Structure 1
């Protein structure tokens, strides 16, 4: 297995994990279930932790791919820029989630005023992950850009 394999296999874990976690958080809020809420928080932490692997395997994967295939360096750079921002967002989301879990564990469960912003951040992270994944797909599948998806912004590098 090389860096490209590792990157592609692990990149999908947070892409699926964060929306799943957000669904659990929603279910916990709507159903007023602390168990579902905590499970959603743990899912956020696990998905955010797994995001480190594709982040660090991205540059070596690019080196392998550019040697063997004709890939657009501009497309890769755009993907990398958005991936960096998304990764930073996941680190922050994970830190906030961990602090809320620790607070809960210490007997001071967070109220709705803290749960709603966490849920909003998880939904935003899910969108950022989808955008990052779309840009990553364009690296080897340029046909995905026609017609352009209107749900993601375009950036020039």
Structure 2
């Protein structure tokens, strides 16, 4: 398994784990159920760990695909910049989730506040994850790019819509 494959395996969990964790934490707060809140905190911690794995494999994945047709270094650089910011917020969310988990287990009176701080950080992480996931998907999935072009050998860029019309004719 190379770095690009490993990156594809681990990079989805920080996003999905954060999104599921947000829903579970909101449910735990509304239900005032510590077990549900603890489950969400564990998800955030695991998401942060997978975020570190994803960051660790990103450079190797970049080296493998940066010279592929229709990819280029600019789109990878944009994804890398977004991923670095997301990872930092995700790590802070993971640390607060750990603090929240420990505070809940030890029955500290500030446990509810730590849960709310964790939720706010998770919401920020979740919002950032959308941009990171989309920019990562755009690397190999040209059909989701805003500037949706396909490069044909020997031709300038042709829009996908024009290419489809040509295929229909």
Please say whether Structure 1 and Structure 2 have the same fold, judged by a TM-score greater than 0.5: yes
Cα distance change, pair 112–104 in 1 and its aligned pair in 2 (3 A): closer
Tell me the equivalent position of 2:158.
Answer: none
The alpha-carbon deviation at position 69 of structure 1 amounts to 4.0
Tell me the equivalent position of 2:79.
Answer: 79
Q: Deviations over 1:10-46 (max 9, x none)?
A: 1111111111111110010111111101111111111
Q: Which runs of 5+ in 1 are unaligned?
A: 149-157
Cα distance change, pair 64–147 in 1 and its aligned pair in 2 (3 A): closer
Q: Deviations over 1:82-141 (max 9, x none)?
A: 100000111111111112222233331534433222212111111111210100111112
Q: Which runs of 5+ in 2 are unaligned?
A: 149-169
- Relative to the length of structure 2, the TM-score reads 0.80
Pairs aligned (count) = 148
- Per chain length, whose mean CA-contact separation is higher, i.e. which structure has more relative contact order (CA < 8 Å, sep 6+)? 1
CA distance in 1, matches of 2:120, 2:136: 24
The alpha-carbon deviation at position 78 of structure 1 amounts to 0.5
SS for the counterpart of 1:121 is helix
Q: Does 1:145 align with 2:121?
A: no
